[in-house]
Amino acid sequence: MIYVLVAVYGVALGSFVNALAWRSYKRFELTEAKISEKKRKAEIKKLSVARGRSMCPHCEHTLGAKDLVPVVSWVMLRGRCRYCGKKIAAQYPLIELFFVLLLLVSFIFWPLSLSSGVGVVTFVVWSQVLVCMVALSIIDKSHQILPTPLVYQFGTTSLTLVALTAYMQDDINVVKDAFIGAAVLGLLFWAIYVLSHEKWVGGGDVRLLVGIGILLGWQGGLLAVVIASYIGTLLLIVLLLAGKYRRRMRIAFGPLLLAGSYIVLLWGRDMIEAYKRVSGL
């Protein structure tokens, strides 16, 4: 029964992830658009995640409750908007289902106790961190940008998770490690950003890595970077073998970093201990 509840919660959050990613990118476009400040503010207000109503990404018609049932509505409407008839990308139900998978795996392998109220709240906060991670991955993969407000949301939610973890473990060092991680990863990749003239990492990646440092600490953060590099190399090999790699093709680094962070958060401690045993450290 508990897995069903987690799955229902996950599919609802997956629907929110889609809306968050779409609205965050549209807000970014508005900040760059050459329009009057009055119109910009009005449009940004309409795209507010907290106050804005769900709408079709094409005709922007406000959606009703029957249009917003995760996965089911998309299937029943055959992947089209009820109002304008235009196709709604399969990405929407796929992201909803993918988020369910991520949340269920998180629940099964969650490294903290879930037997107390604080433990449950901590897992709920993690689910909000995961929302930011998936939304950022969607935007970066599609548009090669990491919207600053969403990156900051990821960082502050991660800090909340760290504070709750420190409380549960009665260990202030967890918070100290978070700030050290933010400083180490932020400064290291800011230096790479400056020295490479933005060729190796972008400003959004640097801000994201500060958030990852908060979430995982400096050791976990660096391990996430290593895992991201391996995933990127594997992806490049697959593209080469499939004949789909093109010169000057840019592979978004953000989704790789966030995938590495997800792996480290759930299994990082075991990976580090296994490495120490094998290496004799």
Mean pLDDT for each 10-residue chunk of the chain (281 residues)?
94 93 88 74 69 74 78 84 86 94 97 92 98 98 94 98 96 96 97 90 94 97 96 92 81 95 94 80 63
How far is the C-alpha of 171 from the C-alpha of 75, rounded, in Å? 48
Q: Are 86 and 132 contacting, i.e. CB atoms less than 8 angstroms apart?
A: no
How far is the C-alpha of 177 from the C-alpha of 217, rounded, in Å? 5
Q: Are 260 and 225 contacting, i.e. CB atoms less than 8 angstroms apart?
A: yes
How far is the C-alpha of 212 from the C-alpha of 217, rounded, in Å? 8
How far is the C-alpha of 16 from the C-alpha of 150, rounded, in Å? 14
In degrees and rounded to multiples of 5, residue 244 shows phi and psi of -105, 0
Q: Are 209 and 185 contacting, i.e. CB atoms less than 8 angstroms apart?
A: yes
pTM for this prediction: 0.91
If you ran DSSP here, which 8-state letter would residue 116 be given? S
What residue has token string 């990646």? 205
Output Rg (C-alpha) for the chain, integer angstroms.
20
b/e sequence 232-252, b meaning 16+ C-beta within 10 Å: beeeeeeeeeeeeeeeeeeeb
Q: Are 23 and 50 contacting, i.e. CB atoms less than 8 angstroms apart?
A: no
How far is the C-alpha of 166 from the C-alpha of 112, rounded, in Å? 11
**Nearest Cα to Cα of residue 53 among 64, 38, 41:** 64
What beta strand segments (E) does 174-234 contain? Answer: none
Residues 6+ apart with CB under 8 A from 240: none
Helix (H) or strand (E) holding 260: helix 253-279
Residues 6+ apart with CB under 8 A from 192: 200, 201
- How many angstroms from the chain centroid is the CA of residue 147? 12
